[in-house]
Amino acid sequence: MTDRRVLHGIGVSAGTASGPVAVVTQAVGIDEHEAASVDPAADGERVREVLEGVAASLRERAERANSESSKAVLEATAVLATDKGLIRGIDKELKKGAGVTKAIHDAVEVYAGKLRKLGGYMAERVTDLYDIRDRATARVRGLPEPGVPALSQPSILVAEDLAPAETATLDPEQVLGIITEAGGATSHTAILAAQLGIPAAVQVKGIAEAIIDGPVVALDGGVGEVIVAPTDSDATELAERSRRRAAALAGSSGEGATRDGSRVKLLANIGTAEDAEKAAKYDLEGSGLFRSEFLFLDRDSAPSLEEQTETYTAVLRAFGERRVVVRTLDAGADKPLSFADLGEEENPALGRRGLRLSQAREDLLDTQLEALAQAHRAVPESELWVMAPMVATVEEARWFAARARATGLPKVGVMVETPAAAIRSAHVLEEVDFASIGTNDLSQYTMAADRMQGELAELLSPWQPALLAMIRETCRGGEATGKPIGVCGEAGGDPLMALVLVGLGVKSLSMAPGKVRAVRAALRMHDFDTCRQMANYAVDARTARDAREAVLAIADPVLRDLL
Ligand code: PEP
Ligand code: MG
């Protein structure tokens, strides 16, 4: 029997869950100890059987897929798994004396090289080919296939880390919670978990080892606590936490405002039309960030003008007269697009991502802007705002604003995600109508700390005074130009940090819909002057820890139940 253990990580999606674990396995690679092939014919036969097995399991997953596009991808991958050229390549490597897993890897590499040379659609199949390689290798080694396993009962997923594409396809009915050993608090995986309303904790060191016997696990995604093999009193304590939280949330409804009536719009972050429909049912004031690139990911070609228009129209319809802020395509770095690959980059996060990719592929941006304009005409009562990601200069803001306005879009803005845009915000804002601070990226670029690196969590904390100083500068630009500044990074969904942001001058906060109630309740407990005081304390603090403690010390004690 597994002993009870308590592990701590970083809570990234509030809520409690308890249930059996399902382990998401990593790809295993070549078996370093395997013997060279002495009977290539027999080994070839074994590889054929393995690949048949991979194809069959992919077909089975395709049948269960919840979207047409993932179904099509899985079916196409199943066909590729039994491709004759691939099998011939593996036979050839076996005849040269390679062991089975090495033969698979080498043959896949040769095949991938050929596909890359062909370019276009064929080059895009390389990812699928690697998926087949990893699944086949695991089978040969008698290990579970990598990726999210098929769940036979609602479970808590435990993974080293999850790719955004994997997280996006999770079924919230089946996945009770997510625990990762690595992963960052502002990684897109964490963001998607909050989006799906799945309790989640990242950076839970030791979790993989603690669950080797497959026990039940309890998770508090608010504080990032994980209890392996929880006792009855753990269950009672967890229930008590939920009760106190519910009491602190009671009566949190309506428009966002401080206790003395300073208005703060509370908005939802969304990634799909489906999200929009779900979020619109919440008591909130619209969407402050529609991450439109999720429509483009995991596809072989860009969505057409018609498809995009249909999606954006559905999003605007869902929110009626409420505001919807659409961020144009923000691909690159951890969200690569196979059909807009600008080639290998040493540092993709510093490369041609976000607006820079749009400048290299104007066709993609223009189609998107046209689709947004058409959607706006179809839903004239909607309040559509459109903004560009990763803006660093006045010229970029001007370039984007001119293009967006040319299509007739009424409200054009930029995201402030680079220190350059933050410290020159007044100049950047002169070109546009509004700005929204992406604290996830602003934090990554201010602290020179990769947001995907869970180990750098402390540097990436939104409480870092350097980040807060960047936000203050951005808000000063907003005041100087009379243009509204919002926050749509993860920081806005933290009830305590929300008070600081409002004190700094932020007019709207956008977050996972499930976080709105707690943020609204926190605002209602405090006057604007207290928020301003909190902001001053936080920016003037010497360390991130001091900043948070100083703010917590003057916050209403009930607020602690919301954290
Ligand atoms: C951000 O960077 O804070 C942001 C909202 O954009 P994303 O997280 O999608 O990069
Ligand atoms: Mg960003």
* CATH number of the domain enclosing 217: 3.50.30.10
Where a domain ends, among 216, 248, 280? 248
531 in active site? no
Pocket of ligand 1 contains residue 439 by CB under 6 Å: yes
| 322 and 218 housed in the same domain | no
- If residue 552 lies in a helix (H) or strand (E), which one and from where to where? helix 544-554
Cα Rg of the chain (Å, integer): 25
Cα distances from 400 to residues 22, 411, 417, 434, 481, in angstroms, run: 45, 12, 16, 13, 19
The one catalytic residue in 188, 475, 526, 531 is 188
Q: Ligand 1 centre and the CA of 280: distance in Å?
A: 21
Confirm if 348 and 302 have CB atoms less than 8 A apart. Answer: no
Where a domain ends, among 113, 141, 169? 141
pLDDT at residue number 1 = 64
Q: Ligand 1 centre and the CA of 400: distance in Å?
A: 18
pLDDT at residue number 197 = 79
Q: Ligand 2 centre and the CA of 273: distance in Å?
A: 20
Q: Could you give the CA distance from residue 88 to residue 461 in angstroms, rounded to a whole number? A: 51
Domain that residue 97 falls in? 40-141
CATH number assigned to the domain comprising residue 278: 3.20.20.60
Pocket of ligand 1 contains residue 438 by CB under 6 Å: yes
Q: Are strands 216-220 and 225-228 parallel, antiparallel or unpaired?
A: antiparallel
Three-state DSSP state, 479: helix
Is 555 inside a domain boundary?
no
Is 524 inside a domain boundary?
no
Query: Among residues 25, 27, 32, which one has the least CA distance to residue 100?
Result: 32
Q: What would the DSSP string read from start to end of 261-293? A: --B-EEEEEESSHHHHHHHHTSSS-EEEEEEGG
Could you tell which of 189, 291, 335, 494 is best to mutate to test the pocket of ligand 1, judged by most ligand atoms within 8 Å of the CB? Answer: 291
pLDDT at residue number 121 = 65
Ligand 1 atom at minimal distance to the Cα of residue 439: 3
Confirm if 334 and 188 have CB atoms less than 8 A apart. Answer: yes
| 137 and 158 housed in the same domain | no
Overall domain count for the chain? 3
| 47 and 116 housed in the same domain | yes
Burial class (CB in 10 A: 0-12, 13-18, 19+), 343: exposed
| 352 and 209 housed in the same domain | no
| 87 and 207 housed in the same domain | no
| 9 and 83 housed in the same domain | no
- Identify the residue whose tokens are 């996972």: 512
Is 18 inside a domain boundary?
yes
Three-state DSSP state, 43: helix
Ligand 1 atom at minimal distance to the Cα of residue 491: 3
Ligand 1 atom at minimal distance to the Cα of residue 291: 9
| 229 and 346 housed in the same domain | no
Where a domain ends, among 248, 281, 303? 248
| 326 and 397 housed in the same domain | yes
Confirm if 510 and 267 have CB atoms less than 8 A apart. Answer: yes
Please identify every stretch of the chain with a pLDDT value under 50, giving residue numbers as ranges. none
Output the residue whose Cα is nearest ligand 1's atom 3: 438
Is 510 inside a domain boundary?
yes
Q: What would the DSSP string read from start to end of 179-235? A: EESS--TTSHHHHHHHHTT--EEE--TTHHHHTTT--EEEEETTTTEEEES--HHHH
pLDDT at residue number 168 = 66
| 213 and 342 housed in the same domain | no
pLDDT at residue number 514 = 85
Is 346 inside a domain boundary?
yes
pLDDT at residue number 287 = 98
Q: Ligand 2 centre and the CA of 31: distance in Å?
A: 39
Angle at 186 between CA 180 and CA 189, to 5 degrees: 50
pLDDT at residue number 510 = 97
CATH number assigned to the domain comprising residue 79: 1.10.274.10
| 387 and 511 housed in the same domain | yes
Q: With 0.85 as the threshold, say if the pTM is over it.
A: no
Pocket of ligand 1 contains residue 489 by CB under 6 Å: yes
Q: Ligand 1 centre and the CA of 301: distance in Å?
A: 24
Is 554 inside a domain boundary?
no
| 266 and 232 housed in the same domain | no
Could you tell which of 387, 415, 494 is best to mutate to test the pocket of ligand 1, judged by most ligand atoms within 8 Å of the CB? Answer: 415
Is 209 inside a domain boundary?
yes
| 271 and 384 housed in the same domain | yes
The one catalytic residue in 376, 475, 488, 531 is 488
Is 96 inside a domain boundary?
yes
- The overall longest dimension of the chain from CA atoms, in Å, is 81
488 in active site? yes
